[in-house]
Amino acid sequence: MTSNHKMDKQIKDEKQMGFTLKVVLIGFCGGLIWSLIGYFSYYFHLTQVGPSFVLLPWALGEWKTGHWGQVIGVVVIAVLSIGVAFIYKWSMQKVNSMWPGLGFGALLWLIVFYIVNPFVIQLKPVQTYSLNTLVTTLCLFLLYGLFIGYSISYEYAEQNYVPSTDKSI
């Protein structure tokens, strides 16, 4: 094996090891960014549901609907988002398009608002939320899914990019 080939293999191995860390960072940053935007949307009354909705089934007391509850909700969503990013990685990392990410975000919105919602007593039924709430949260989930999906697909394509060695052009 030539030293040049060894170096190429080492660089490729380092890229592969870095992909997992990148997925973690994409998930965390995606959750952080989009839940912060969700908090601003909640603060400015564009939605009736803030990031603290993730705390409702577990945390006791009224603090969870206040400022600190929203901030802790943002952090919890950012951490949970790491797992969501790995689900996307395992299911659709090879699809380099924006549409799977948007579909993933829509699926997450359906799961949260139609499957999980009935089991969380503190959340109102979906039909009772304002149109602003439904549209705003759907858009946030779509953009979140797009961010996660496109970022992971892009990184996957970058990790597996093999430069052409054909110099006849």
Q: Does 151 map to a domain?
A: yes
Given pLDDT bands bounded at 50, 70 and 90, which one contains residue 117?
Answer: confident
Residue with tokens 């935007």: 37
- Decide if pLDDT at 169 tops 60: no
Q: Does 5 map to a domain?
A: no
Nearest to 88 by CA among 19, 152, 2: 152
Q: Does 75 map to a domain?
A: yes
Q: Does 164 map to a domain?
A: no
Q: Does 12 map to a domain?
A: no
Tokens describing residue 167: 């110099």
Tell me, what DSSP letter sits at residue 55? T
Number of compact structural domains in the chain:
1
Q: Does 53 map to a domain?
A: yes
Give the separation between CA 24 and CA 2, rounded to whole angstroms: 34
What Rg value do the Cα atoms of the chain yield, rounded? 20
Q: By residue range, what is the domain housing residue 149?
A: 17-156
Model pTM score: 0.83
Q: Does 77 map to a domain?
A: yes
Q: Compute the mean pLDDT over every residue in the chain, rounded to the nearest whole number.
A: 87
* Arithmetic mean of pLDDT, 100-128: 91
**Spatial CB neighbours of 138, under 8 Å, sequence gap ≥ 6:** 106, 109
The pLDDT of residue 57 is: 77
Q: Does 3 map to a domain?
A: no
Tokens describing residue 12: 């490729």
